[in-house]
């Protein structure tokens, strides 16, 4: 993927997808340490952002000003979208991404996210408002369409490009599919052929093999990885190495893996505070234990621990299978 269409170097073209409740600032920082062309913040609801006066932690969550970070916004009205985008730009954002792909009912029932694919004229007004409000590059993330009867991503992409969108990411499913079935990477080719700006393929990309398949079938210039990165923060760097020849990441094994998990756990606690951090951390610890093939009893003990101290005591032995494998 060429970085020429954006005034930023987004290489290698292996990006981290925004995932609510998962790709928070501590995890994005960890992924970026291994290597990623771009990481994207969790989605910000523009109306709520403007009315609820976000606190220090919420503002920090965006990673504004961090190199290789895009801030994603959503909304259903042009004025709040534009105002939020301008405010975020003023705070130092380098790229703003518009969410037109989220399938969650609480988002689509509010006429945001992928629901905007049902009203392309209205969606374009939002895109135009955001592009006109800021000087930084604006990108778009969306799906193939609302359902199989409304596969309008190529038309929306064409119009978005004309409005000034500089990169488009397509999840290879319709909204009504949610995450069921398989992503249709070949269907993304219609978007690639409709526009001149870079197109990024997303959906079911979990390793270098699937990344290569997605690139070949779609003709896209890059890939965005979502759920596959859970418990494997080095995955983007590994894919980039195998496809683009970037330096191979040092994948932590044994004690190194335990140390990485413990450090990530500590970062979450510091960022969120102990009470909230304990809850937020559980999903990540669960994915790390999936990777380590932790026995069920040890897994339950970690995930039901009631204090930081108890968790810190249990974690090293729970992650022990990785250490044993490394020593074998």
19 is in an annotated binding site: yes
Please indicate whether residue 176 is annotated as part of the active site. Answer: no
DSSP reduced 3-state for 233: coil
Whether the CA torsion 261, 262, 263, 267 is positive or negative: it is positive
d(CA 259, CA 253): 10
User: For the segment 128-159, what is each residue's pLDDT rounded down to a tens digit?
Assistant: 999 999 999 999 999 998 777 778 999 999 99
- Residue 299 annotated as part of some ligand binding site: no
Tell me which of 62, 102, 200, 261 is the catalytic residue: 102
pLDDT at 56: 52
Q: Is 171 annotated as a binding residue?
A: yes
The per-residue pLDDT for 55 is 59
Q: What is the pLDDT of residue 198?
A: 94
The pTM score is: 0.90
User: What pLDDT, on a 0 to 100 scale, did the predictor assign at position 308?
Assistant: 94
pLDDT (tens digit per residue) in 252-283: 999 999 999 999 999 999 999 999 999 999 99
Looking at the domain 14-244, which fold is it? TIM Barrel (3.20.20)
pLDDT per residue over 30-58, tens digit each? 999 999 999 998 888 887 777 765 655 66
141 assigned to a ligand binding site: yes
| CA gap 224, 203 in Å, rounded | 8
What is the distance between the alpha carbons of residues 224 and 236, in angstroms, rounded to a whole number? 9
pLDDT per residue as tens digits for the range 59-117: 667 777 777 889 999 888 899 999 999 988 988 888 999 988 676 655 655 556 667 88
Instruction: Return the domain boundaries, the chain.
Output: 14-244, 254-327
């Amino acid at each position: 993927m060429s970085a020429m269409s954006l005034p930023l170097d987004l290489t290698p073209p292996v990006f981290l997808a925004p995932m609510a409740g998962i790709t928070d600032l501590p995890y994005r920082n960890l992924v970026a340490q291994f290597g990623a062309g771009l990481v994207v913040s969790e989605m910000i609801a523009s109306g709520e952002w403007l009315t609820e006066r976000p606190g220090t932690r919420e503002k920090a969550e965006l990673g504004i000003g961090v190199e290789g970070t895009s801030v994603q916004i959503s909304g259903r009205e042009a004025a709040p979208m534009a105002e939020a985008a301008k405010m975020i730009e003023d705070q130092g954002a380098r790229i703003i991404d518009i969410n037109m792909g989220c399938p969650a009912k609480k988002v689509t029932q509010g006429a945001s996210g992928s629901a905007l694919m049902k009203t392309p004229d209205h969606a374009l007004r939002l895109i135009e408002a955001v592009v006109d409000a800021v000087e930084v590059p604006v990108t778009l993330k969306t799906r193939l369409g609302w359902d199989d009867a409304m596969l309008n991503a190529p038309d929306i992409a064409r119009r978005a490009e004309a409005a000034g969108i500089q990169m488009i990411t397509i999840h290879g499913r319709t909204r009504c599919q949610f995450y069921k079935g398989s992503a249709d990477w070949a269907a993304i080719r219609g978007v690639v052929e409709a526009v001149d700006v870079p197109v990024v393929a997303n959906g079911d990309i979990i390793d270098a093999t699937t990344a290569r398949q997605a690139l070949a079938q779609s003709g896209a210039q890059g890939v965005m990885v979502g759920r596959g990165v859970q418990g494997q923060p080095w995955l983007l760097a590994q894919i980039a190495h195998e496809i683009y020849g970037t330096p191979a990441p040092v994948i932590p094994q044994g004690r190194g893996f335990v140390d990485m998990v413990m450090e990530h756990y500590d970062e979450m606690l510091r960022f969120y505070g102990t009470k909230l951090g304990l809850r937020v951390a559980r999903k990540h610890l669960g994915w790390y234990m999936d990777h380590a093939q932790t026995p069920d009893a040890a897994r339950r003990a970690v995930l039901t621990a009631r204090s930081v101290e108890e968790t810190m005591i249990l974690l090293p032995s729970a992650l022990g299978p990785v250490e044993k494998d490394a020593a074998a």
